[in-house]
């Protein structure tokens, strides 16, 4: 059954039914070390569909499930995700200066919600996230976004590298937010089609994505603290794009 409060379903057959009816499953938790034919079949199906799996102790499943979970609990996303290959061409055809946001394994659901809220206010056309490694989109994300998430097209992809290659094929510049550069964000030309990459709270933008970026840019820091919260930094980057485009 599905919990409206927690947006979860539990039990092998319930999760299988959710897969059959194309429910937006964000992540599935399987009991570590538990073996059954039904669970093996479900695990194989999840892997084929590319749905993130996390193997956890029985105690965690008992905490998050109110019923007989049979070794499986699934998070149901409160939103439907878009397909990158369909969405991006439509946006580029419609917008003269599209603005995309790529989030590289943002791990905190509140940071994610705050970023989505700011992105919606700044006119971002779409947000692209990796299927694996990032924060789940759940009730807390929705709450922190103040409902903006329902107005923002969001894609989940296997690899952000594929997104970059796809965007570059449409001549979209890729701007990576990183301290590993001398270029300030104010020196970047946001008057052209742009995708901004924001990195994870601990590691920043991954080296493989930095190598593929068109430009790297940073924010000036005047104090003793060496970094900003990612949602704050993202807001500063996005509003520089807004400033240039509406000056």
Q: What percent of the chain has pLDDT over 70?
A: 97
Mean pLDDT for the chain overall = 91
pLDDT digits (tens, 9 = 90+) for 156-194: 999 999 999 999 999 999 999 999 999 999 999 999 999
In CATH, which superfamily holds the domain spanning 2-76?
Answer: Ribosomal protein L30/S12 (3.30.1330.30)
Q: In Å, what is the CA distance from 120 to each residue of 40, 109, 149, 223? A: 40, 17, 8, 29
Instruction: Provide the residue ranges of all domains of the chain, joining segments of one domain with +.
Output: 2-76, 84-245
Please give the model's pTM, rounded to 2 decimal places. 0.84
Q: Which residue has the tokens 């919260």?
A: 229
Domain 84-245 sits in CATH at 3.40.1280.10
């Amino acid at each position: 059954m599905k919990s409206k409060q927690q947006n979860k379903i539990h039990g092998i057959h319930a999760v299988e039914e959710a897969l059959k009816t194309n429910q937006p499953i964000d992540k599935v938790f399987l009991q570590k070390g538990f073996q059954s034919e039904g669970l093996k079949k479900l695990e194989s199906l999840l892997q084929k569909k590319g749905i993130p799996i996390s193997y956890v102790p029985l105690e965690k499943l008992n905490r998050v499930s109110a019923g007989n979970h049979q070794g499986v609990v699934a998070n149901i996303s409160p939103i439907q995700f878009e397909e990158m290959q369909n969405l991006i061409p439509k946006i580029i055809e419609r917008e003269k200066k599209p603005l995309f946001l790529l989030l590289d394994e943002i791990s905190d659901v509140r940071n994610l919600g705050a970023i989505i809220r700011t992105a919606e206010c700044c006119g971002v056309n779409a947000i692209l996230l990796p299927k694996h490694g990032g924060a789940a989109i759940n009730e807390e994300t929705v709450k922190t976004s103040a409902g903006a998430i329902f107005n923002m097209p969001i894609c989940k992809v296997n690899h952000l590298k594929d997104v970059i290659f796809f965007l570059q094929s449409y001549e979209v510049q890729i701007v990576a937010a990183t301290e590993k550069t001398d270029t300030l964000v104010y020196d970047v030309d946001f008057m052209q089609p742009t995708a901004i990459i924001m990195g994870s709270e601990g590691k920043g933008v991954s080296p493989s994505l930095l190598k593929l970026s068109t430009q790297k840019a940073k924010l000036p820091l005047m104090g003793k603290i060496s970094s900003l919260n990612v949602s704050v930094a993202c807001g500063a980057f996005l509003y520089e794009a807004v400033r240039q485009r509406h000056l």
